[in-house]
Amino acid sequence: MWKIIGKRGVHHLHKLNTAANVPASIIENGQKRVIDASLTLIRERAKLKGELVRALGGAVASTSLLGVPLGHNSSFLQGPAFAPPRIREAIWCGSTNSTTEVGKELKDPRVLTDVGDVPVQEIRDCGVDDDRLMKIISDSVKLVMEQDPLRPLVLGGDHSISYPVVRAVSEKLGGPVDILHLDAHPDIYHSFEGNKYSHASSFARIMEGGYARRLLQVGIRSITSEGREQGKRFGVEQYEMRTFSRDRHALENLKLGEGVKGVYISLDIDCLDPAFAPGVSHIEPGGLSFRDVLNIIHNLQGDVVGADVVEFNPQRDTVDGMTAMVAAKLVRELTCKISR
């Protein structure tokens, strides 16, 4: 439904501009106002949270949530567009306490703040195309990073959002990062189904842009010949589940980020076996356990400068919100790797 609504909005404005002889300047000026308003809201919320964290003092790096409710670049289901509010609800639902496994208190603003969502659907309904939308997402991430010591933890959304987010992090820091990518799929098609911004092509765009030095892909168990060829082309380190027992020790003792601007973690919920997280669009049995993922994250050595949690689909979750709680727990523990 999300994809249909978005396309209708763009198509309707196109018809207004051409068939009804509406001056292009009217639509273009209106789009600019909406984009400016969207970025202003992110900017002012980030500024407020940054001022608060700096006033409290003592934080070298502080996690700030940014939602990107985008689902139209998914090749199958668009439900991930509805994930950010469900993840936030699960983080603060009260069924568990607000302390992470390593003892950080999430209610402390120096550990976690929230700057809200990029209004993706509202922007698209004004006829804004994906080239401009990706720039808006990148600009939003940069606005968060301008407020030192805030660092972005982005709530997707489908995996297409990782490209503009990583681009923003790399451009803002002035160089490439190392990426730890946990996923059932490599998402490195050149242009899946003709869409260069497909959620299945995000890491091709990242590697083409030179935004990553090393890309480690963990949890892979659905990969085509193109995925392997693209991996070789870009020098990607692909760890497939069929060899996980052999690779476990190395993956649970990773050291990344030396000689570059830091480490970025991209966590697709379907890296997990569906027994742990059924609420995903692409169910791939034979995945990582929840503790496997936490061990990899907790033991990672490196300066984590940003992260995303993507591809949770609330429309496929259990009635009691099991996958929402899983996503929330992952956000909580990722916060521990960023905030210090």
User: In this structure, how many other beta carbons lie within 10 angstroms of the beta carbon of residue 148?
Assistant: 13
Three-state DSSP state, 288: strand
| CB 293 within 8 Å of CB 265 | no
Instruction: Return the C-alpha torsion angle 22, 23, 27, 30, nearest 10.
Output: -120
pLDDT < 50 regions, the chain: 1-9, 11
Say what the pLDDT of residue 251 is.
98
How far is residue 224's CA from residue 227's CA, in Å, rounded to a whole number?
5
Nearest CA to 309 out of 283, 273, 271 is that of: 271
pLDDT tens track for 265-290: 999 999 999 999 999 999 999 999 99
Place of tokens 């940003």: 306
Omega before 157 within 30 of 0, i.e. cis: yes
For residue 15, give both structure tokens. Answer: 């018809």
Is position 268 annotated in a ligand binding site?
A: yes
The residues spanned by each domain of the chain are 17-338
The pLDDT, as a whole number, for residue 17 is 59
Q: Which two tokens stand for residue 199?
A: 């959620």
DSSP state of 272: B
- What are phi and psi for residue 66, nearest 5 degrees? -135, 120
pLDDT at site 6: 43
Residue type, 233: R
Does 114 belong to an annotated binding site? no
Count other Cβ atoms within 10 Å, centred on residue 135: 15
| 129 labelled ligand-binding | no
The Cα–Cα gap between 116 and 127 comes to 22
Gap between the terminal Cα atoms of the chain: 41
Residue 116, both tokens: 């809200």
Per the annotation, does 12 bind a ligand?
Answer: no
pLDDT digits (tens, 9 = 90+) for 207-220: 999 999 999 999 99
Yes or no: say if 255 and 218 are a contact pair by the CB < 8 Å rule.
Answer: no
Dihedral sign for Cα 147, 152, 155, 159, please: positive
Residue 4: the pLDDT is 38
CATH superfamily of 17-338: Ureohydrolase domain (3.40.800.10)
Q: What is the pTM of this model?
A: 0.95
Question: Does residue 183 have a known ligand-binding role?
Answer: yes
